[in-house]
Amino acid sequence: MITLEDVRGAAGRLAPHIHRTPVLSSGSLDRLLDRELLFKGEHLQKTGSFKVRGALNAALQLGAPRGLVTLSSGNHAQGVAFSSRVLGVPCVVVMYEDASETKKAAVRSYGATVVDEGVTRLNGEARVRDIAAERGFHYIHAYDDAHVMAGQGTQALEFTEQADAPDAVLVAVGGGGMISGIATVIKAVWPSTRVIGVEPEAADDTRRSLLAGRRIRLDAPPRTVADGVQTMMPGALTFPVVQKSVDEVLAVREESILEAQRLMMRHLKQVVEPTAGLTLAPLLEGAELPRRLGLFVCGGNWLP
């Protein structure tokens, strides 16, 4: 388990290197959905995603590593590549062969080497661990790492300083690093605020796991437009935090995710990726949600 003090320590560590992102709102969107919506704009973070927070918090505590290596579909990859540049060490990123070419190009722009030939969600973990062993590089996991989880929580710490307590916050869920960090902060600072995770129906491993009371692995790699949350099973470290501090996880349809992305871009005038649409999607499906909501906008690395 991580604590509020872990997150506060991460915030101090990260402050010289990252942005304090804004909270955005749209009167027209509020009227359309009959809600008061507060969007924490992590799409405006360095590397275009909240992922740099966790990656850099982990990297800054390594001392003098020989190099960094990770496995990622894109946003965590950029976070680790950025972190390697801060530390001045080499970086190798193992990316799935079918990952976004835009995100692969972004990773290379930070000076990292991309390994993607033949990499799938079934063999990626073995590939990254082989590279870590061969080169002596430190493997920064995308979510199953206490330092990563604490780093991700710093966005919620900022949010609690920027806004009054909402009735609930909505968070996209992949492996659970983001929602673990956010839930840790929200439940410590605003204990009456509900923490609600959102997954695609095609990738609802965390929702199924919560219902079962144990980690459930999907039968096959999920296919969803929300490419940032294509995990097959919640993390071993993140899942206990989710069980303790997350009130509910919802699953939404693909068409709702894309429509939510379009609405956010139209009304907020911001470029966001499909995964960022997850938090707004439940409102389009008539989910029973309270009136004042905080939505964490996870990333903006998208091109039409």
The set of catalytic residues is: 51, 73
Residue 23 CB neighbour total at 10 angstroms: 16
**Amino acid present at 53:** R
Closest CA to 229 of 185, 273, 262, 294: 273
CA-CA-CA-CA torsion sign (121, 127, 133, 135): negative
Cα–Cα dist 226/287, whole Å:
19
Q: Environment class of residue 25 by beta-carbon count within 10 Å: exposed (0-12), middle (13-18) or buried (19+)?
A: middle
β-pair partners for 194: 168
In a 13 Å sphere around the CA of 80, the CA atoms on its Cβ side amount to 32
Closest CA to 297 of 23, 15, 2, 17: 23
CA-CA-CA-CA torsion sign (224, 23, 49, 296): negative
* Distance (Å) of CA 116 to CA 23, 24, 38, 229, 287: 35, 36, 37, 18, 38
Which two structure tokens, joined as six digits, stand for 251?
């699953």
